[in-house]
């Protein structure tokens, strides 16, 4: 949904901006911090901005942010030192018992998932130590079912991020190995990937805890950035073709309002929606996130992803954006089958709650506004 002109909030009197805070000293004691609680920022409730952000305010805000950097870095160092001391090379740290667990059979999931953060925070010694572990110890030859989704976004994504930042070929080699194993999950009759795959045998199936006949929208819709990048880096087009086919299939069966039910049956030749439940939270969230990101990744020329994003945001705006009572705050609801005794056949009712996983949409719409020059964060309020 494209606006012909930029939204202008109603003019209000300029008030001194009250949310800058003070720069934080390097030795600040956070143990004395008292949470400020809710019921703040009430002046924004209708989407209006009573403040004029001047260069001076921006400069002060930047200074506060810079003073916080050392504490963010210290928090990362604290967390990393705990992992390194008690669980290095293992999948997960158990911080209370100071032990570890290997739910991915020792693929070093936490280590791989942390590589890009270590690099960006200039913790290069820690990064190269991890690189050596990847070269000497990382193996994906695991005779166990793993989540297609989790392994893609954490392990494959982590390796590819490390390769993109450092240029070290060992990360790409390991990513190619893992990607070739994960690709077996796409060999369903419909082309919508299975939710789990055995990394050694290549056997794949849907997740048994949701019945074994359906795939989860958020999971199969959040693989494309990683596989497309892997295809570009290796020259193996099959990675991109199979991942992109998923969105092509969703485009073929999309509903008129641009919103997607959370479960899709994928064991027949043609996929179909297996529920009426619609959400921007759990089971759905990241497919909407990836629509915009894939379009950006491809240089903003692949119109299908842009169109799917446009329609889904318009559908959310038209059908799911509600106002709470009595506070009058906007939130993104869901849709679920109507269970009332007087329900009409095939009708839906609002799920009048906002899943915490749906909170990404504020930032995502702002990102859309920045890159598309037509979306505006303010639209969420009207």
The predicted structure's pLDDT at residue 174: 98
CA dihedral of 56, 57, 59, 63, whole degrees rounded to 10:
140
**Which range (140-144, 149-153, 365-369, 372-376) has the least confidence?**
372-376
Q: Which of 30-44, 45-59, 187-201, 359-373 has the largest mean confidence? A: 187-201
Q: d(Cα 224, Cα 241) in Å, to the nearest integer?
A: 10
Question: Which residues are paired to 100 by β-bridges?
Answer: 93
Q: What is the rounded CA–CA span in Å between residue 137 and residue 116?
A: 19
Mean pLDDT of 197-208: 97
Q: If you average pLDDT over residues 211-231, what whole number do you get? A: 97
The percent of residues in the chain predicted with pLDDT above 90, rounded, is 74
* Cβ proximity of 207 and 195 under 8 Å: yes
**Count, residues in the chain:** 382
Quote the pTM value: 0.89
pLDDT for 374 beyond 70: no
Give the model's pLDDT for residue 4. 31
CA atoms within 13 A on the CB side of 216: 25
The neighbouring-strand residues paired with 147 are: 196
Instruction: Please tell me the distance from the alpha carbon of residue 160 to that of residue 2, in angstroms, as a whole number.
Output: 34
Token readout for 3 is: 């606006």
């Amino acid at each position: 949904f494209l606006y012909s002109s930029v939204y202008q909030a109603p003019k209000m009197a300029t008030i001194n901006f009250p949310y800058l805070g003070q720069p934080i000293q390097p030795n600040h004691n956070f143990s004395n911090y008292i949470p400020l609680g809710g019921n703040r920022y009430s002046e924004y409730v209708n989407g209006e901005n009573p403040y004029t952000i001047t260069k001076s305010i921006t400069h002060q805000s930047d200074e506060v942010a810079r003073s916080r950097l050392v504490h963010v870095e210290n928090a990362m160092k604290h967390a990393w030192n705990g992992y390194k001391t008690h669980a290095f090379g293992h999948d997960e740290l158990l911080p209370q018992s100071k032990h570890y667990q290997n739910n991915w059979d020792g693929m070093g999931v936490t280590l791989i998932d942390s590589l890009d953060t270590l690099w960006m925070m200039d913790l290069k010694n820690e990064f190269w130590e991890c690189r050596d572990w990847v070269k000497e110890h990382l193996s994906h030859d695991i005779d166990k079912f793993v989540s297609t989704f989790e392994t893609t976004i954490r392990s494959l994504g982590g390796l590819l991020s490390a390769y993109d930042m450092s240029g070290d070929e060992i990360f790409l080699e390991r990513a190619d190995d893992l990607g070739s194993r994960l690709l077996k999950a796409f060999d369903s009759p419909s082309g919508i990937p299975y939710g789990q795959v055995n990394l050694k045998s290549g056997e794949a199936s849907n997740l048994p805890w949701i019945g074994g006949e359906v795939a989860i929208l958020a999971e199969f819709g959040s693989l494309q950035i990683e596989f497309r990048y892997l295809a570009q880096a290796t020259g193996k087009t099959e990675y991109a073709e199979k991942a992109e086919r998923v969105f092509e299939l969703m485009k073929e069966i999309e509903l008129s309002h641009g919103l997607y039910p959370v479960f899709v049956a994928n064991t027949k030749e043609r996929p179909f929606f297996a529920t009426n439940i619609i959400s921007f939270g759990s089971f759905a969230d990241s497919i909407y996130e990836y629509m915009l990101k894939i379009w950006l990744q491809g240089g903003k020329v692949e119109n299908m992803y842009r169109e799917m994003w446009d329609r889904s945001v318009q559908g959310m705006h038209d059908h799911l954006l509600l106002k709470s009572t009595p506070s009058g705050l906007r939130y993104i609801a869901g849709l679920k089958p109507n269970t009332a005794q007087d329900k009409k056949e095939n009708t839906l009712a609002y799920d009048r709650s906002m899943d915490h996983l749906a909170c990404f949409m504020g930032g995502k719409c702002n990102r859309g506004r920045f890159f598309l020059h037509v979306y505006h964060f303010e639209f969420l309020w009207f």
